[in-house]
Amino acid sequence: MSKKYNVERCTFCGKSRKLVDTLIAGPPGIYICNECIELCNTILVEEVRRKGQEKGSGKDKKLLSPKEVMAELDKFVVGQKMAKKVLSVAVHNHYKRILRGNVGDEVEIEKSNILLIGPTGAGKTLLAKTLAKILDVPFAIGDATTVTEAGYVGEDVENILLRLVQAADYDIERASNGIIFIDEIDKIGKTSKNVSITRDVSGEGVQQALLKILEGTMANIPPQGGRKHPEQSYIQLDTTNILFICGGAFTGLEEIVGQRIGKKLIGFHEDAKDLNEKEKGDLLQQVQVEDLVSFGLIPEFVGRLPIVASLNPLSEDDLVRIMVEPKNAIVRQYEKFFKMDDVALEFEDDALRAVAKKALDRGTGARGLRSILESFMLDIMFEIPSRSDIKTVTITEGMIQGKQPVVPPTKTKKNLESA
């Protein structure tokens, strides 16, 4: 008679001892292999992470008041008091609507997306990004100029949603409560009021494509993006609770507003271009729906952006404050870098004003401050790590203007004797 042997196998996956590295015995006849242990550990870690996110974004999450939101914005964004006030109230109401819900209520609160109007470098993107950071929700940025109507060469509207899903590490529940900022929204206005037989694939067509996701729909998102992988299974994302913040410079909108309210742009000012920045900002504070429609946005699209906030152009004083006051101010960052090399960095007030003037001349607003300082600081940051003789660096107006050397000469024996 042939003798039978009982082969020890993993009770969960059925693999024998020969096919795995380790087989651990439990109660009589019960075994588990190292591969199943690793799989269980992965499941447990994911479950803990998911429960932690649910706890942080669920009903028990503290809802910040508008004043608390604005206080946090003040730490990172200089000026723009009215815009910050509008945004603080808007995001508070938006997340109060999500957390407390409409279940059982006769009155259903609709979502209120936001439109930010302001010149380049005024802080539109920074405001949206800072809000997402304060609220601890996923955040994604899209550019309206890269999007085209479905069926044409370009980026799909769904690709913007894909970025949000990726920012949430593919956690669909977190992504569905996130914030999306769509920049350059003014560039998709209709180019003409005349009806054309050709399709406006980057203008009105894109506005039509954005309508559904702005209002709230179950969107099918290709996980790999684009239309090149028709076989891929789609990710479904409900956009009902996603807060959309759209931003644009809307150059020329102040002239439309001026004509509506009867402020003639003639006389002392022959053209809208002759208005100073403060006058343009004052006009943009009075923007209404018909002005945006006249600019080129379709009424249905404007209706999905009921909250409008205008940002004022930044003054020289604002730019100086931006360099030194916020938590992550550029000057503070440089000071920290230099401190790592035991070097003290100081900026004279006149030097900061010289940088601000350069940014104003370039018309780049706050966005240009970093590029100006990066270019200026390059040589000194190249020298500092290898120079033990430098303990303090003071940046002056003359250095910014190129009238004084930025890097002090090396203290060689010859230099000391001549001194």
Is it the case that residue 153 has pLDDT exceeding 50? no
**How many structural domains is the chain composed of?**
3
Q: Which of 100, 86, 57, 235 is nearest to 161 (CA)?
A: 235
Residue 209 is part of which domain span? 66-192+201-310
**What average pLDDT is seen over the chain?**
80
Give the pair of three-digit tokens for residue 207: 């506005």
Residue of higher predicted confidence among 193 and 24? 24
Q: Which segments are annotated as binding site for Zn(2+)?
A: 10, 13, 33, 36
Report yes or no on 299 lying in a domain: yes
Local confidence band at 350 (pLDDT 50, 70, 90 cut-offs): very high
Binding site for ATP, residues?
A: 119-126
320 and 371 share one domain:
yes
Q: What is the pLDDT of residue 4?
A: 46
Whether residue 59 is contained in a domain is answered as: no
322 and 306 share one domain: no
408 falls within a domain: no
User: Is pLDDT of 347 > 90?
Assistant: yes
Residues 42 and 120 in one domain: no
251 and 376 together in one domain: no
391 inside domain: yes
Q: Are residues 248 and 303 in the same domain?
A: yes
- Look at the alpha carbons of 375, 377, 380, 385 in this order and tell me if their dihedral is positive or negative: negative
The percentage of residues in the chain with a pLDDT greater than 70, rounded to a whole number, is 79
Contact 301, 207 (CB under 8 A): yes
In this structure, of 105-114, 197-206, 401-410, the range with the lowest mean pLDDT score is 197-206
Give a yes or no: residue 23 inside a domain: yes
Average pLDDT, integer, range 305-324? 90
Could you tell me if residue 413 is inside a domain? no
Same domain, 216 and 302: yes
Asked, for residue 91, whether it belongs to a domain, the answer is yes
pLDDT digits (tens, 9 = 90+) for 168-221: 988 888 999 999 999 989 888 765 444 443 444 446 778 888 888 888 888 888
Binding residues, by number, are 10, 13, 33, 36, 119-126
Query: Does a structural domain hold residue 232?
Result: yes
Highest mean pLDDT among 5-9, 191-195, 392-396: 392-396
* CATH code of the domain in which 349 resides: 1.10.8.60
Of residues 34, 31, 38, 30, the one with CA closest to residue 20: 34
Q: Please tell me whether the overall predicted TM-score, pTM, comes out greater than 0.95 for this model.
A: no
Shared-domain flag, residues 250 and 333: no
Q: Is the pLDDT of residue 354 over 90?
A: yes
Instruction: Reduce the DSSP state of residue 68 to 3 states and report it.
Output: helix
**Burial group, residue 327, by CB count within 10 angstroms (0-12, 13-18, 19+):** exposed
Q: Are 352 and 397 in contact (CB under 8 A)?
A: no
Query: Is there a single domain that holds both residue 285 and residue 241?
Result: yes
Q: Please check whether residues 99 and 206 belong to one and the same domain.
A: yes
Is there a single domain that holds both residue 168 and residue 276? yes
CATH code, domain carrying 145: 3.40.50.300
Regarding whether 267 and 162 lie in a shared domain, the answer is yes
Paired tokens of 231: 């076989």
Q: Do 226 and 77 share a domain, yes or no?
A: yes
